[in-house]
Every structure is written in structure tokens, then in C-alpha cells.
Amino acid sequence: MNFPYSSKKWLTLSIAAVMATSIGVGAVASESGTAAPASQTQGSQQNDKATTAATADNSKADANKTDATKADTAATEDKAAANGTADAKATETKATDAKNTSTTSTTGTTNTTTTTNTSTTNNTPAADSTASDQMTLAKAIELAMQNNSKILTARLEAKSADINQSLSYATTSAITADMMDSSLDAEKQKKMTRAQADLTTKLNDLAVKVTESQVKLGVQQAYYNLLHAEADLNLKKQSLNRAQTQLKVAKAAFDVGTKAKTDILQAEMGVAGAQAALAAAENTVEINRMKFNEIIGVDVNKKWKLAPENKQVAAPTLTLQQAQEKALAQRIEVQQKAGELDLAQLNVRLFEEWSLLSTYQGRIARNNVEKAKLAIDEQNRQIKMEVAENYLTLNAAKVAIDFKKKAQEAAAESYRLTNLRFENGLATTLEVIQAEEEYSDRENQYLEAIRNYNLAVVNFENALGVGK
């Protein structure tokens, strides 16, 4: 089929038709009293650019093609594509205008929402609810006094015992002189019940203090055990880092041919041993943390950051004799035995008033007094022995710290020198590993010495009756 115009002519006519259509739409909009939107103007400009680009591309294609039919077909496809592109761009422009309008109309709402979100962000608690809280020994003891089940039970039992004694005394106090009929048993029931009630109240109070003292000692021990476990965990991490460094050095030396494969195997064994020790230390920390939380009466999974200033506390500066005298003056057990002696002596006085000391009951009453005195003497000897034992243990623990510290420093220097020898080819990997193990052991022993000293101080203060 023959066309009256060339392909270029057809392309020019097509472009003119498109432009005429756009101008016609704008004219109709003007005649209807509605101004053409800015989006359509932008769309027309974009259509012009697209059309110009299409014209340039088609002109170049016509120069390279001789087949008129193919050229006309390509021109027709370019026309359709140009029209589709123009329509799509116009639609996108309208959507953009609508979005801008919506944004403008909701500016106030957006600002309000932003303010609300900012306020919410400032008031939001920390995301990590398991973050470690600061813990001191004094705070741990305070929590235990408030939450420990043994202490709470002892206090309730003491209150119940006091109530029972009050009821018993109220019953016996109603007995009059006429009702007693000069009976020794009746008088004992009246007077001894009162004395027994007073002594029981005192002993109940002392029993609560004994329980509090025992729990306090347990808290102190649990605190220092946890402190020691965490410090030991840090040492195990350092040991693993040293072993891994040694493995890297061994591999580097093997790569350059200065070390044998056995050096790498030995270094890998050292890393494996350090990893096993680290895993055991992590378990020990978790176990000691749960024990500590249990005795202070909180959630066993609670995590704490122990205060480092409580390491290696100072011991009381007393001689052994001064310590024993202080313990006899402060220990609760001494007050308990003294109360039992007072009660036994009251019973003897009642028999003496009735001139019945020579009877079987009178002699038993005097024997009870002697037994109470012997119990006091035995208690005093036990207290003196306990104080002396803890006093000597404390002194030994204090001396051990100095020796363990020197041993640790010597092991650290030996490890450093062995590493230098290894770097110069004068030591094997096995020798380095052995030196590192010795250094790690000395570090652990020094750490253990500090823990033992702290526990010795705690036990010595408990033997003195401090805080009871």
C-alpha cells in the first residue's frame, strides 16, 4: 500500500494532532470558567519534552532504515507510547497535588501527633527490664531483714508465744490468797507463771535476734560468694583471651614455617580448656546469684551489680582477750543462760520461804540452779573458743593475702618472660600454655584469699556479737 506522505511527514502530522488536542482541552476548560490546573500545565510540559525526545529518536531511526512500512509502524508505536507516558505522568502529577493538599490541610494534626509521640518517648521506661541494679552489702542485709522468710516466721512465733504467756498469766493472776489455801503449788503457779512469762518474752525477743544474726551472717557469706564468683568469671574470660591469642600466634608461626603443627594442636587444647573453665565459672555465678536472691527474699532471677568497694573489708583491731570479753558482754546466748538461771533461783527462793528446801522438790530446785550455773560456764567457754578460732583464722587469712599476691605477681612475670622466649624461638607452645595455666591458678588463689579474708572478718564479727 502506498502512502501519500513520507514517514517523516506522518510523524510531523501526528505530533501536530497531539498538540492540537491538548490545546483544545485547555480552551474548553477556559470557556467553562475553570482554570487549567497546574498539574495539567506541568503534564503538557512533560509531554512536550517526551515528544521532542521521541522525535529525535525517530529521526535517528529513519536515517538508518530504508523500509517505509517499518518506519511508519515504528512511528505509530512511538506515538502510542508517547500518549501513554503523557497520561501516566499527568495522573502521577494529580496524585502528587492531592497528597500535597492533604498534607497542608492536616499540618496541625501532624504537629499534635509529633508532640504526643515525643511526650510518649520521654515517658517510656527503659526497654531492658532485666538491667542490673546496684547492690551493696548494707542494702542486702536490709532487704533480708524485711523479706527473709526465716526472720518473718521467727517474729510471728515470738508474737504468738507472747500471747500464750499473757493468757496463762491472766488466768493465774485471778487466784486470790483465800483460794490458794496456803498451798505451795498454788503460790508457785502464781509467782512462777509471772516470772516464766517475763522470761519467755525476753527469750522470744532474743530468739528473733539470733535468727536475724544467723540470716545476716548468711547474707554476708552469700554476698561475698557471689562477688568472688563474678571476679573469678572475669579471670576466666581473661584466661580464654590469652589462650586465643596464643593460638593465633601459633598459627601465624606455622604459616611462615617457624613452628610445627603440634604447636597449633597444643594451643587449641589450651583454648578448649579455657572455654570449659569459663562455662563452669558462668554456672557458678548463676548458682551463687540465685542463692543470694533467695536469702534476701527477692526473685531468684534478679540480677545485681555488686558494689566493688566492699572487697577486702577491714577487720576489727582487737587483741584476743579484748575480743573474748566483748563477746561475753554482747552475745545473746549469754543473756539466755542468765535468764534461765534467774528462773531457777526464783524457784529455790519459793521453797526457802516455805522451809521446804530439804524436801525432794527443794533439792531438785537447788540442783537446777547448779545446772544453770554450769550451763553458763560451758556457754562462756564455747564463746571464748569460738572467738579465738575466728580470731586466729582472720589473722591467717590476712597473712595469706600478702603471700598469694606475691605469688600472683611472680606467675604474671613468668608468663610474660615465657612469651618473650616463645617469640624468639626459645620456648614451645606447651611451655607458654603451662605458664598461662600457672598464672591463672595464682590469680584464682589470690582471689580466693580475698574471699576467705572477707568471710573470716564476717565470722569474727558474728562471734563477737556485733550487730546482734
Using one digit for the tens of pLDDT, what is the confidence trace for 9-38? 545 555 555 454 444 444 433 444 444 444
How far is residue 60's CA from residue 235's CA, in Å, rounded to a whole number? Answer: 78
Q: Say what percent of the chain tops pLDDT 70.
A: 62
> What average pLDDT does the structure give for the chain?
73
Q: What is the pLDDT of residue 197?
A: 74
The more confident residue out of 182 and 202 is: 202
Q: Look at residue 206 in the predicted model and tell me its pLDDT.
A: 80
Measured between alpha carbons, how far is 286 from 87 in angstroms, rounded to an integer? 69
Buried b / exposed e over 432-443, threshold 16 CB at 10 Å, is bbbbbbbbbebb
**In 256-311, which residue ranges form alpha helices assigned H by DSSP?**
261-296
Which set of grid coordinates corresponds to residue 196? 516464766
- Round to the nearest angstrom and report the end-to-end CA distance of the chain: 120
- Of 114-128, 141-155, 347-361, the least confident: 114-128
Angle between helices 261-296 and 184-255 (to 10 degrees): 160
> Which of 431, 428, 424, 434 has the alpha carbon at shortest distance from 260?
428
Among 103-112, 175-184, 241-250, 317-326, the least confident range = 103-112
Q: Is the pTM of this model over 0.75?
A: no
| Grid coordinates belonging to 205 | 525477743
CA torsion 413-416-417-423 (nearest 10°) is 180
State the angle between helix axes of 320-330 and 360-423 in degrees (0 to 180), rounded to the nearest 10.
130
For residue 127, give Cα distances in angstroms to 62, 115, 121, 351, 431.
Answer: 68, 21, 11, 74, 48
pLDDT at 293: 95
Asked whether residue 454 carries a pLDDT value surpassing 90, the answer given is no
Half-sphere exposure of 256 (CA within 13 A, CB side): 7
| Spatial contact of 358 and 429, defined as CB atoms under 8 Å apart | no
Looking at residue 90, what is its pLDDT?
A: 40
**pLDDT at 353 > cutoff 50:** yes
Cβ-based burial of 319 (10 A; exposed 0-12, middle 13-18, buried ≥19)? exposed
* Cβ atoms of 458 and 224 closer than 8 Å: yes
Q: Assign 134 to helix, strand or coil.
A: strand
Please give the pLDDT value at position 35. Answer: 41
Contact between 444 and 238 under an 8 Å Cβ cutoff? The reply is no
Distance separating alpha carbons of residues 466 and 458, to the nearest angstrom: 10
Greater confidence (207 vs 88) lies with: 207
Q: How far apart are CA 101 and CA 95, in angstroms?
A: 10
- Distant-in-sequence, close-in-space partners of 74: CB < 8 Å, separation ≥ 6: 58, 61, 65
Query: 370 vs 186, which has greater pLDDT?
Result: 370
The predicted pLDDT at position 213 comes to 85
In three-state secondary structure terms, 135 is strand
| pLDDT tens-digit series, residues 392-436 | 999 999 899 989 999 999 999 999 999 899 888 888 888 988 998
Q: CA-to-CA distance for 442 and 405, rounded, in angstroms?
A: 8
What is the rounded average pLDDT of the residues 76-104? Answer: 41
59-79 per-position pLDDT tens digit: 443 444 434 344 344 444 444
Rounded Cα–Cα distance for residues 269 and 275 (Å): 10
Helices assigned H by DSSP within 297-428: 320-330, 332-353, 360-423
pLDDT number for residue 116: 39
Give the model's confidence band at 371: pLDDT under 50 very low, under 70 low, under 90 confident, else very high.
very high
Q: What is the pLDDT of residue 89?
A: 39
- 30 or 379: which leads in pLDDT: 379
In terms of residues, how long is the chain? 468
Could you give phi then psi for residue 133, rounded to 5 degrees? -100, 150
- The burial of 27, by beta-carbon neighbours within 10 Å (0-12 exposed, 13-18 middle, 19 or more buried), is given as exposed
For the cut 50, the answer to whether the pLDDT of residue 109 exceeds it is: no
Across residues 32-54, what is the average pLDDT? 42
Helix locations, 174-260, DSSP H: 177-180, 184-255
Higher pLDDT, 90 or 143: 143
Give the pLDDT confidence of 282-337 residue by residue, as tens digits: 999 999 999 999 999 999 999 989 886 555 666 678 899 999 999 998 888 888 88
